[in-house]
Structure formats: C-alpha cells, structure tokens
Amino acid sequence: MSEDNFFVRFIRLAGGFWYAEDKTTTRRLTAMLVVLTIAQIAIAVIITQWSADLFNALDQRSMKGLIAQVGAIVLIFIANMAITVSHLKVKRHLQIGWRTWLTNHLISRWMHNGRHYLVTHTEKGEHDNPDGRIAEDIRIATESAIALCHSLLYCLLLLVSFTEILWSLSGVVILDLGIIKMPIHGHLVWLALLYASAASFLGWLIGRPLTPATDAKQTAEANFRFSLVSAQEHSLSIAMIHGENNERQRFHALFANIGAAWQQQTKAWEHILMFSSGYSVLSMAFPILVSAPRYILGSISLGALMQSAQSFQHMASALSWPVDNMASIFEWRASVERILGLLESLDYLEQEIASPDPRRITLEKTDRSVLAFENVCIAKLNGEEIMSCINSEIRAGQHVLITGNFFTGSKLFKAITGLWPWGYGRIALPDDEQLFFMPPRPYLPTGTLRSAICYPSADDAFSQDVLESSLNLAELNELIAQLDQSDTWDKSLSRETQQRLGLVRLLLYRPKWIFLQEAFDSLDNEGEEMVLRLICRELPDATLLTVTNLPNASIFHSHELSLI
C-alpha cells in the first residue's frame, strides 16, 4: 500500500468523526487543543528567557535578580500546571470520543445482516481476529493519531519559535578559509538543521523493520488470544473427549509464534534504542560544546550561552520528531492497516452482495404466506455446486422433513436467512412473518438467565408467569429460581439444558415459521420425540422445517424435501 493511498484511506475511514452528529463539540475541543498547545510553546519560550535571566543574575552575583527569578518561576510553575492538566483533559476527551465513534462505525458495519459471518468466507482483505481489530487496533489508531498529531503540531510551533530565538543568539561567525573570510549568520540554526536532519534520516532507515515486526507480533497475539477464548467456549466438549493434550500442543505452537514475533521485534528495537540512546546523550552535550567558545571569548554572557543551548535543544528536538516518535508511528500504522484490512473485506462483501450476479441466490419478499424455491442451487465459494436444483413451495402450516445431506440442509437454512448467497435461483419469503431458526446450539449471552432466555428482546419482554409456564413445559422448572442469577450460561449449563432453553425461547416467541437444524440432537430419541410433540401441540398453526437424525421423525411431518 503506497503512502498516499494509506493516508487517503485512513482519512476517509476516520475523518468522519469531525463531521458526525456531535461535530460542534468535537471541533470546539480540537480548537481548544490547538490553543493549549500554543500555550505550551509560550511556556517553553518563557522558560528559556527565564533561564537566561537566572544565569545572568548568578553570573553578576545579583541577589535582587535571583529573588525576582524565584518569583517568576512560581508564576510559570502555576501556569504550566494549569495548561498541562487542561491539555491532558481535552486530549483524552478527544481520544475517547474518536475511539467511540470509530468503534461504533466499524461494529455497525461488521454486526449487520450477518456480515460478521459472511465476511469470514471472503477472500479479499484481511478479516482474521475481528475482535482484536475492533478492540485493540482502533484504540491504538485513534489514541496514537491524536497524540502524534499533537506532538507534531507542538514540534512545528517549537521549530518556528526557537528558530527565531536561536538565529538572534547565534550572531555572526566569521569562517576563515585562509583565502577568504566568510560571515555566517545564524550558524547554530544551520547546525541544528544538519544535526537533526542527519539523525532523522538515520533513525528512519534504522527503524523501518519495526513496522512488519509489530504487525507480525499483533497478529500472533490475536491468534493466541482467539484460540484461548475458543477453547474456553468449548471447554465441556474438550473435557468430554479428553482433548487437553491436543489443546496444550496447539497453545504452545501459537505462543511459539508470539515468541518468534517478539524476537523479530526485539531485533528491530535493538537498533532503534542503540541509536536513540546515543542520540539523546549527544543532544545534551552538543549545543553547549558548540556555543562554549563564544562564551570563553567573551562574545556572549553565561545566560546567553544557556539560552542558546536550550534553544538549540528545543529546535533539534522539534526537528527530531520522526526519530522520537518512530516506534509509535510504526505501531499506529500497523494497527490502522489491520483496521483497513477488515474494512476492505466488508467493502468487498457489500459490493459482491449489491452487484447483480447470476451466481447469487436472490431473496424476495412476497405478499403470500409461502416459502418458495425456484431453481435454487447451492454452491461453494468457488462455484462448485453442492446441491441440485430445488423447485418447491412450502405453505403455511405444513410440517416438512428435510432429508438427504444434513450439511446441505444447514446451507439451505443459511441461504434462506441470506447468510449463504453462493449459488443461483430465487427464494420467495413470506412477508411480515417471523422466521425462527434454531441451530444445534442456541446463543445464550452472559448475564441473567432471564435476559439470556428472552434474547434478543429485553428481559422484561415476557411476564414471570409466561416464563415459568414455558420452563415447566420444557421440563426445566429447576431453573425458575435462577432466572435473576448472572452467569456464563453457555459454559455452566449442559448442552441438553441449553437446547431445552432454546425450546423455551421458541415457546415464548411463538413464531409462524420454525426451522429446526438438529436443534435437539443432544436429547435421546424419546426426549426429542417429546419436544417435537410439544411443538406440534403448543404451536399447531406454525410451519415447521426440520433437519434431524431422529429415526421416526416422519411421523411429525406431513411432507418431505429431499436434498441431493
């Protein structure tokens, strides 16, 4: 990615923060940050002048001058504290505001109409570990961007202010070349420019390997974290099949990748720190050494010597911004590229969905209470067909058993929801009628059991009596006492209990169209028959499409749809 393209894409991504709904507050805070930065520069200029006056008073052994400088530093001290604290508050307010806006923007793009699922199947862009990209990379991208922009503005203002001061303090130095004597005006300014430019170039050259090293480390960390979370989510399954040894080996391998990336980053840091540590020592001594001869010759006072040294340091520091912020810049860029990678995948996905393509399954709402398949064929991402064409019409109230390939049955359900557009044909959906899909494992978010059951509605969407009645029907009356307890329910409850809670949710919502995808496969045959009989009794008018391994499931269904 070229530099120009990178910055253009970042501005397009994040620049909307200054044009968002709360743009007036955002722009006011930005203006305040600039004003406070100017005030910081004013304090720095005042301190250098104070330093000159102090050393002149010491050189003159003037007690009156010393007392005056003590009073001045007290005022400078109070003003500097007020400006620094105000600046910190404004900067952090902007940082969290920008992070909030960008996080909401990216989550809205990612968590929309199944995009979070579909994007995992795209080949464009980088979309692995979206949790890390949204949580960590956005934090670094926004916080570091404001911090870097502030420090850059500070250094530019510093450069402007102290170049003028240093130029006036430099005077005129005569360079005697033997044949000709050449007057040099502002020699300290030219020395500072050469000194900082050489340091910046060397620092940039030395620090280039840090960008890929940082990106590799962040990716390795995200993969390791994701693997740990995944193992925690499936801890019961791992324990039941004694897969701990396999998991340990996988964790060791993933952490070894972190170690390798860490070493790669350490090597990059070694060269940067070696250079910056030597540079910091030289920056402290160099300005005094180059100004000392003029003081020894009596051309300048001690105060002017110290003011020249401080002005040189400020100017060199301003010019050394790329060196001082090299690591932060590379870390910031690596995080921005990871965010842009996820957005690139989402943009590509949106274009794929929006563009007319005969190899896409189209969904259309109708004014009829039917689910119709017209020449529907499901394919893989590469276009290979995995199911022959379906031409069928399912009417309201019918119970349809889907037989044949269960894997293809799950793809058909995903196609109905719009989560598997690959293939061709048309699916006509019943208009304004809720489609209720029950996967093998219902989603039970962490929180109270009541809110987990009522999900995605609010926890007060159903009355206590209705909840208790549904739990009793699902033979989960022992959970009534735990409705207001908080827990990680997908970890603490058995798979059978979780599937029965899926049944409770179904009884609460009472949808007209029900899609069961091995939703009760953890129950024995007798238990699954009981559940199907209960659904037929409690929801007699509902349409039922079922994918199941139950041997005698046909007794609960009047029609059959065979997938080949």
- The string of pLDDT tens digits covering residues 183-211 is 666 667 777 777 777 777 777 777 777 77
> What integer pLDDT is reported at residue 186 of this predicted model?
62
The enclosing domain of 248 has a CATH number of 1.20.1560.10
* Residue 38 CB partners (closer than 8 Å, separation 6+): 157
> What integer pLDDT is reported at residue 533 of this predicted model?
93
Domain boundary among 323, 353, 383: 353
The enclosing domain of 496 has a CATH number of 3.40.50.300
Tokens of 351: 């274009």
Q: pLDDT tens, position by position, for the chain (564 residues)?
A: 555 577 888 888 778 888 888 888 989 999 999 999 999 888 888 887 787 778 778 777 888 888 888 888 899 889 989 998 999 999 999 999 999 999 998 888 888 888 888 777 776 667 777 878 888 888 998 999 999 999 899 888 887 777 777 777 666 666 656 666 666 666 677 777 777 777 777 777 777 777 778 778 878 888 888 888 778 767 766 776 778 888 888 889 889 988 888 888 888 878 777 777 776 677 667 777 777 776 776 666 776 667 667 777 777 777 778 777 877 888 888 888 888 888 888 888 777 777 766 678 888 888 888 999 999 998 877 778 887 788 999 999 999 999 887 778 888 888 898 888 888 889 999 887 788 999 888 888 888 999 999 998 888 899 999 999 999 999 999 999 999 999 988 888 999 999 999 999 999 999 999 999 999 999 999 999 999 999 999 999 999 999 998 888 999 999 998 887
> What integer pLDDT is reported at residue 183 of this predicted model?
63
Distance CA 242, CA 529 (A): 31
Domain membership of residue 459 as a residue range: 362-563
The reply to whether 393 and 500 lie within a common domain is: yes
The reply to whether 465 and 349 lie within a common domain is: no
The reply to whether 310 and 430 lie within a common domain is: no
The reply to whether 308 and 418 lie within a common domain is: no
CA torsion 386-390-394-399 (nearest 10°) is -50
Distance CA 44, CA 536 (A): 80
User: In the chain, how many domains are there?
Assistant: 2
The reply to whether 98 and 173 lie within a common domain is: yes
Domain boundary among 298, 319, 353: 353
The reply to whether 323 and 368 lie within a common domain is: no
Transcribe 201-257 into DSSP letters. HHHHHHHTTHHHHHHHHHHHHHHHHHHHHHHHHTHHHHHHTT-HHHHHHHHHHHHHH
Give the end-to-end CA distance of the chain in Å, rounded to a whole number.
45
Distance CA 262, CA 280 (A): 25
Q: What is the CA radius of gyration of the chain?
A: 34
Selection from 285, 265, 288, 271 nearest residue 323 by Cα? 271
Q: DSSP 3-state assignment of 129?
A: coil
Selection from 34, 20, 31 nearest residue 97 by Cα? 20
- CA–CA distance from 225 to each of 232, 340, 412, 444 (Å)? 11, 21, 33, 22
State the sign of the Cα–Cα–Cα–Cα dihedral 460, 463, 468, 474. Answer: negative
The reply to whether 126 and 212 lie within a common domain is: yes
Spell out a b/e string for 394-415, using b for 16 or more CB atoms within 10 Å of the CB, else e.
Answer: beeebbbbbbebeebbbbbbbb
> What integer pLDDT is reported at residue 178 of this predicted model?
61
Domain boundary among 353, 370, 390: 353
The reply to whether 342 and 410 lie within a common domain is: no
> What integer pLDDT is reported at residue 172 of this predicted model?
63
> What integer pLDDT is reported at residue 236 of this predicted model?
63
The reply to whether 424 and 328 lie within a common domain is: no
pTM of the shown model:
0.68
The reply to whether 268 and 389 lie within a common domain is: no
The secondary structure of residue 386, as a DSSP letter, is -
The reply to whether 342 and 373 lie within a common domain is: no
The reply to whether 349 and 389 lie within a common domain is: no
